[in-house]
């Protein structure tokens, strides 16, 4: 029996893994979102986020340059929502917040879902501190400085 061709998601993963160019991956992400293949799009976003040497600005610029001309089209909102949620799920809260700020500065709408994802991650910090103290680990100055830096960023 002849071998069937690989599913499209495997083809996209192969292209993404062999292409070092974030613009190509950003174009694939927009294509996947348009095709309603959000898990695959999020997988590619995670690949870009984890890639060393790729700044948040470069990721956002690549996504913007491959986006539709209508800045706040539904597809763009979904792509940038997915970007913020991917940062949160990867436990990169500071990066997610910085991406949120960059998007707002460049005139893109970020939905309430992305805002809620960021806020939800902050709430988890409070729960974690409470659990720490319940187990006998009391926060010290370094702990609170870490929390403050996480909430407000450096500076």
Give the count of domains, the chain.
Answer: 1
Q: What's the whole-model pTM score?
A: 0.72
Indicate whether 57 belongs to any domain: yes
Domain of 64, in residue numbers: 8-110
Indicate whether 115 belongs to any domain: no
Quickly state the pLDDT bin for 153 (edges 50, 70, 90): low
Indicate whether 66 belongs to any domain: yes
Indicate whether 103 belongs to any domain: yes
Check pLDDT > 70 for residue 2. no
Indicate whether 16 belongs to any domain: yes
CA-closest candidate to residue 53, choices 26, 96, 21, 90: 21
Indicate whether 95 belongs to any domain: yes
Cα–Cα distance between 23 and 154 in angstroms, integer? 30
Indicate whether 119 belongs to any domain: no
Indicate whether 143 belongs to any domain: no
Please name the residues in contact with 140: beta carbons below 8 A apart, sequence gap of 6 or more: none
Burial of 44 (0-12, 13-18, 19+ CB in 10 A): buried
């Amino acid at each position: 029996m002849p071998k069937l061709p690989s599913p499209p998601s495997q083809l996209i993963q192969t292209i993404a893994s062999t292409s070092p160019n974030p613009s190509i991956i950003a174009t694939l992400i927009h294509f996947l979102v348009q095709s309603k293949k959000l898990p695959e799009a999020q997988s590619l976003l995670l690949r870009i986020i984890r890639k060393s040497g790729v700044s948040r600005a470069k990721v956002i610029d690549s996504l913007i340059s491959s986006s539709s001309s209508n800045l706040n089209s539904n597809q763009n909102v979904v792509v940038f929502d997915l970007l913020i949620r991917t940062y949160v799920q990867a436990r990169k809260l500071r990066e997610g917040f910085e991406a949120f700020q960059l998007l707002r500065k460049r005139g893109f709408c970020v939905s309430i879902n992305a805002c809620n994802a960021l806020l939800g991650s902050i709430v988890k910090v409070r729960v974690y501190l409470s659990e720490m103290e319940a187990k006998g680990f009391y926060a010290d100055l370094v702990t609170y400085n870490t929390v403050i830096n996480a909430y407000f960023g450096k500076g």
